[in-house]
A and B are shown apart, each in its own frame.
Chain A
Amino acid sequence: MDLENYTNVNIFKKVYEKREVSSIHNVVEQPHHLLKDNTQHAKGGFNPYVNNQGTTVAIAGKDFVLVAADTRISQGFNILSRDYSRTTKLTDQCVITSGGMVADIETLHKLLIAKVKTYQRQFKKTPTVESLAQLLGNTLYGRRFMPYYAFNLLCGIDQNGQGSVYGYDAIGSWDKLTYGVQGSGSELGAPILDNQFVGHNYLVKTLPDDVSVVEDTGKDIINSIAERDIYTGDQVEIVIVDKNGIRVKREPIRRD
């Protein structure tokens, strides 16, 4: 290639010329999303998402699942609530717990309850945790380009009576786990869970069988996160799902 000539050639010339041609006909033929007003609007201005923070931990056991979550919601440096429950019962054997934006969490949980009811009417049975896991994945991916700002853990007892936890991202990528942590304190909680419980990286895959030990650990993890994460605190909500149903209890933790 002749370099001397190359520098004089405006490689964008074609593009510029094409852009400068303007007539009503052209504008109308442009795809809707390429119109100038529309693209500008999409870029700047209104941002509907806000992160209300908070941490939630879920641990699967041999015949139970434990969820430990804090109850604080915040915006910036302000506390909006000290007793918000981020865990919702879906069926007698399944709960969902989420971190992220409270408005979206609430909407998503309500939608799932409705979907569970529809399922019950249609099929005359309660959906299994496995079914709900797929349903939640599809629900989230359905909002691929305007997602629910919610990071979920679906926890329940599966058809074999074993505890199981399903972890999701905001747009519906999901996986079956044995424990999970979501929210603002997830980076602080994950290493303790990795050390104490059985996950992908361990050879001996036995789930914990003592509820009280797992409960103490879950409670301690939220307490420890509250020490170092400013968005976590106020109360710890413990939800235990086993074959007898769902138990909920709350304990105060540091409020500063």
Chain B
Amino acid sequence: MELDYLKTLPLGGFNFDNCIRNRAMAESGILQAPKTMKTGTTICGVLFKDGVVLAADTRATGGSIVGDKNCEKIHNLAPNIFCCGAGTAADCDHVTEMIKRQLELHRLNTHSENRVQMAALKLVAHAFKYGGQIGTHLIVGGVDVKGPQLIECSNDGNMYSMPYHTTGSGSLAAMAIMETRYKENMTREEAVNLCIAAIEAGIYHDLGSGSNVDVCVITRNKYEMLRNIKHDNFKVFSKPGGYQFKKDRVQVVEEFKHKLVVEAGEQPMDLS
């Protein structure tokens, strides 16, 4: 066949080539295979009278260093479905984006609204296929024909449906607030305030979570993204006058002086 080279091209999906290398590294005993980072987060979701509230903090960490002080952890899956992501940031971003496209195709093919159950099932099916190696801990919330729905999808392929959920490293702090203050048939106002309080508990008591609070309220035929609804954490002090880089600290060994000749028609570079 003429197009034999096609067989040598990657087929798509994940590339596992480095697994062989990593095993060789581990067996050699000299080098250690690279490890993935554990990330911290606080996310939560609450069902209320006529909708769902999702909330998240905005800190992204790599080990003990803050990588992003104001990242977005609430992802859009469909006009009526949103999803909070904890765990490995890349997995959450790519998996939600992938499911978002599948849902859109389904929407266009069936001319109907997506169901939250279906989105969650797709997420869980994908996660289970990889035996928990894809680090997605998601809280999916939305409103469909069956009313407001809230489903948690963990990386090992489990789905839980409860009226309130918390996940991430700050889940214990957030759940403490949920367990004390949750009640059935809350108003929108109450639900939003409960979510903010839960996320703030995570922000202040869990080192993996921090910065601001994002909230998303989904009701029938409408969603509202309240980005940075709380923003109390910022740098409180900077040295007045800023910093100077003193030149005399470094010894000048040799100095060159060149005359800059501008040729006709050329514009001199702006050096200011």
A residues within 8 Å of B by Cβ? 53, 74, 76-79, 184, 195-196, 198, 202-204, 216-217, 219-220, 223-224, 226-231, 236, 251-256
Interface residue total, chain B, C-beta cutoff 8 A? 31
Given A203-B249, A229-B64, A230-B61: A79 and B236 within 8 A (CB)? Answer: no
> Are A252 and B236 closer than 8 Å at their CB atoms?
yes
In the complex with contacts A184-B64, A204-B249, A77-B239 CB distance below 8 A: no
List chain B residues, Cβ under 8 A from A251: 236-237
Chain A residue contacts of B40, Cβ below 8 A: 77, 230
Query: Which residues of chain A have C-beta atoms less than 8 A from B204's C-beta?
Result: 255-256
Residue pair A77, B64 in contact (C-beta under 8 Å): no
A-B contact pairs, 15 of them (CB 8 A): A77-B207, A77-B208, A195-B243, A202-B249, A202-B250, A216-B239, A219-B239, A220-B238, A220-B239, A227-B69, A227-B235, A229-B65, A254-B236, A256-B204, A256-B210
Known interface pairs A77-B40, A77-B169, A228-B65; A219-B234 also in contact (CB < 8 Å) = no
B249 touches A223 (CB 8 A): no
Which of A198, A220, A229, A252 meets B66, CB within 8 Å?
A: A229
- A256-B249 contact, Cβ under 8 Å, with A223-B237, A223-B238, A229-B64: no
Instruction: Report how far A170 CA is from B39 CA in the complex, Å.
Output: 29
Known contacts being A78-B206, A256-B211, is A204 close to B248, with CB within 8 Å? Answer: yes
Complex contact A79–B210 (CB within 8 A): no
- Choice from B205, B209, B235, B243 contacting A196 with Cβ under 8 Å: B243
Q: Do A230 and B237 touch (CB < 8 A)?
A: no
Q: Mark B88-127, 1 if CB is under 8 A from A, else 0.
A: 0000000000000000000000000000000000000000
> Contact: A77 with B206, CB < 8 Å?
yes
A253 touches B237 (CB 8 A): yes
CA of A216 to CA of B236, assembled, Å? 12
B66 and chain A: residue at smallest CB distance? A228
Please give, as numbers and ranges, the residues of chain A lying within 8 Å of B73 by CB-CB distance. none
Contacts of B208 in A (CB 8 A): 77, 230
- Distance A196 CA – B243 CA, assembled complex (angstroms): 8
Given contacts A79-B205, A196-B243, could you give 12 more A-B pairs where the C-beta distance is less than 8 Å?
A: A74-B207, A77-B208, A78-B207, A216-B240, A229-B66, A230-B210, A251-B237, A253-B236, A253-B237, A256-B59, A256-B209, A256-B233
Contacts of A202 in B (CB 8 A): 249-250
Chain B at the A interface: mostly helix, strand, loop or mixed? Answer: loop
* Top-10 shortest CB links A-B: A256-B210, A220-B239, A256-B233, A216-B239, A230-B207, A77-B207, A202-B249, A256-B203, A223-B237, A228-B66
Determine how close the nearest CB of chain B comes to the CB of A79; give it in whole angstroms. 6
State whether the Cβ of B251 lies closer than 8 Å to any Cβ in chain A: yes
A220 to B235, CA, bound (A): 9
**In this assembly, does B14 line the interface, its C-beta being within 8 Å of a C-beta of chain A?**
no
B255 to chain A, nearest CB (A): 16
Give the distance in Å from the alpha carbon of A219 to the alpha carbon of B204 in the complex. Answer: 21
Once the chains bind, are A230 and B64 in contact (CB under 8 Å)? yes
Known: A230-B64, A254-B235, A256-B204. A195 touches B69 (CB 8 A): no
Residues of A within 8 A of B256 (CB): none
Q: Which of B203, B236, B248 contacts A223 (CB 8 A)?
A: B236
Q: Which of A196, A251, A252 has the most CB of B within 10 A?
A: A196
Chain B residues, CB < 8 A from A227:
66, 69, 235
B16 at the interface (CB under 8 A from A): no
By CB atoms of chain A within 10 A, which of B207, B240, B245 has the most?
A: B207
